[in-house]
Amino acid sequence: MPFRVDFAPTATDEAEQVLRTLFGPDSPPDPYPLFARLRELAPVHRSPALGAVVLTRFADCGRVLGDTANFRVVDAAWRDEHTPDWRDSNAQVFLSALLAWRNPPEHTRLRRLLTRDFTVRRVEALRPAVRRCVDAALDRLAADGAGADLVDTVLYPVTMTVISELIGVPEADRPRFRELVDAVGRFLDPQADAATKARGDAAALEYRAYFQRLIEARRREPRDDLASALLAKRAADPDQLGDEELVDSLIVLFGGGFETTAGVLGNGLEVLLRDRVQWARLVADPELADSAVEELVRWDTAGQLGQRVAVAEAEVGGLTVHAGESVMILTGAANRDPARFAEPDRFDIGRADGRSLSFGHGIHLCLGAALARLEMTTLLGALVARFPELRLSGPAVRRPTVALRGLSGLPVRF
C-alpha cells in the first residue's frame, strides 16, 4: 500500500481558491460573502493567480489610493516594461490614454484644466436640467405601467441624457454607447476570454473615433456645450487641452457620467425595493435622500476593482510590497469592512459613519462625483414622491461582469 500524507490547506491556499472563484467563469452574482471570507483569511494577500497583492480592508485600500509617492496607476510606461505587447490591444491603448490611467505630472495638468470647467458651481447649475430629465423618465415609467423596467425606462435615460446634454452628444447617437461602454467594461474583467477582449478592442476603436468626429464637428459649428467650450479655450490658449487630450477627457466624462451612475442606482434600488422597511423610511422622510445615496454607493458599487503599482518598496497591512509589483484594490470588500462601518452587511439609508471608497480617494477622486450625487438624490426624491407604492415585479437581471457591476433589468410595478 503506497504511503500517503494529506496536508490540510492553509489560509493562503483557501484565499487563492476564493479569488479563483470570484474571478472565474462561474463567479457568483453576490461576491460579498467571498469578499468577507477573503478579508478574514488574508486581508493582504499576494496572489500567484492574479499576479498582484490583493487588498480587502478599507484602511489598506485607502492608504494605497492616497499614497502617490509609493503607488501609481498602471500607465503606459509600466505596461511597456512589464507587458510589452500591450499596444497590440486597442482597448488597452484606449484606456491608457484616459485620465484615470495617468500619473503626475500629466494627470495634475489634465485634471486642473478639466476641473475649471467641471466645477461644483457648474454642476449645481445643472440641477434644473437634471430634474427635467428625471421628470421625463418618470413620466415614461408611469406610461409603461405593468411591465415597466427601471433600468431601461429610467436609469440609463436619465444618466445618459444629463451627461450627453452637458458634453454635446446628439440624442440620435446615444443608444449605441450603452453597448460600447459595456464591451469595454467587460474587457476589464480578470476572467475576460479572447472573444470578450476582441469585442472590447472593437468597441474602443469605435468609441474613440466617435469623439474625434464630434470634436471636428464642434470646431466647424460650436454649440452651447462642454465640447465647444473646451475647444474655444484651446483656440485662445495653446496651453489648454490639445485635441487628443480633449477627446480623451470627453470619453472619461461621458462614459463615467452614465455607466457607473446607472450601475450604482440599479444595484442600490434593487436592495431598497426589496427592503420595504427602508423604502418606507425614505417615503416618509425624503430628506433622507442624501444619506440614502451614500448608502447605495457604499452597499454595492459599480466599480469593484482598482489597480496600482508600487514605485518603491512599501509596507501595506504588514506585508512588504516590492517596487514594480501590482496591487489590486477590491473596492466592494473595503466598503463592507467592519473595522470601518458598523454592521457593514446591514443596509441602512440613515447610516452616518462616513463615505465609502466608491468614488475613489486622493488625486484620482472621481471628477464627476458631484454630478452623480446630484442625479441620484434628485431621482430618489422624485421616485418616492411619485411612486410610493413602487415594488419589484420580478427578479433583477444582473450583467455577468465583476469589474463593472450593474443590472441589465429591474422590473417593477406600482
Cis peptide before 128 (omega within 30 of 0): no
Query: pLDDT tier at 93 (50, 70, 90 boundaries)?
Result: confident
Residue 209: exposed, middle, or buried by beta-carbon count in 10 A (0-12, 13-18, 19+)?
A: exposed
Q: Which residues of 300-334 are buried (b: 16+ CB within 10 A; e: fewer)?
A: bbbbbbbbbbbbeebebbeeebeeebbbbbbbbbb
Which pLDDT score, from 0 to 100, does residue 9 have? Answer: 57
* 203-207, 236-240, 409-413: least confident range: 236-240
Contact 302, 263 (CB under 8 A): yes
**Of 65 and 116, which is predicted with more confidence?**
65
Looking at the predicted structure, is the pLDDT value of residue 390 above 80? yes
Looking at the predicted structure, is the pLDDT value of residue 8 above 60? no
pLDDT tens digits, one per residue of 63-85: 999 999 999 999 888 888 888 88
CATH value of 31-408 in 3.40.640.10, 1.10.630.10, 1.10.287.130, 3.10.520.10: 1.10.630.10
Which pLDDT score, from 0 to 100, does residue 4 have? Answer: 43
Rounded CA-CA distance 283/58 in Å is 31
Mean predicted confidence (pLDDT) in 275-279: 96
Query: pLDDT tier at 229 (50, 70, 90 boundaries)?
Result: confident
Looking at the predicted structure, is the pLDDT value of residue 7 above 50? no
Helix-strand-coil percent breakdown of the chain, rounded to 5?
Answer: 55, 10, 35
Query: pLDDT tier at 2 (50, 70, 90 boundaries)?
Result: very low
Rounded CA-CA distance 321/319 in Å is 6
Beta strands in 83-238 (DSSP E): 148-149
Q: How far is CA 380 from CA 137, 155, 161, 165, 166, in A?
A: 12, 11, 17, 21, 21
Averaged pLDDT score across all residues of the chain: 90
318-326 long-range contacts (CB < 8 A, ≥24 apart) are: 318/44, 319/44, 319/46, 319/53, 321/53, 324/78, 324/81, 324/82, 325/52, 325/53, 326/51, 326/52, 326/53, 326/74
Which pLDDT score, from 0 to 100, does residue 32 have? Answer: 96
Which pLDDT score, from 0 to 100, does residue 253 have? Answer: 87
Which pLDDT score, from 0 to 100, does residue 230 have? Answer: 87
The residue ranges of every structural domain in the chain are: 31-408
Which pLDDT score, from 0 to 100, does residue 6 have? Answer: 45
pLDDT tens digits, one per residue of 231-262: 888 777 777 888 888 898 898 888 888 889 99
Query: pLDDT tier at 402 (50, 70, 90 boundaries)?
Result: confident
Beta strands in 23-165 (DSSP E): 44-47, 52-55, 71-72, 148-149
Mean predicted confidence (pLDDT) in 341-345: 96
Which pLDDT score, from 0 to 100, does residue 184 have? Answer: 87
- Rounded CA Rg of the chain: 22
Mean predicted confidence (pLDDT) in 175-191: 85
Looking at the predicted structure, is the pLDDT value of residue 3 above 60? no
Rounded CA-CA distance 262/257 in Å is 9
Mean predicted confidence (pLDDT) in 125-152: 91
Mean predicted confidence (pLDDT) in 45-53: 93
Which pLDDT score, from 0 to 100, does residue 19 have? Answer: 93
Query: pLDDT tier at 96 (50, 70, 90 boundaries)?
Result: confident
**Of 370 and 9, which is predicted with more confidence?**
370
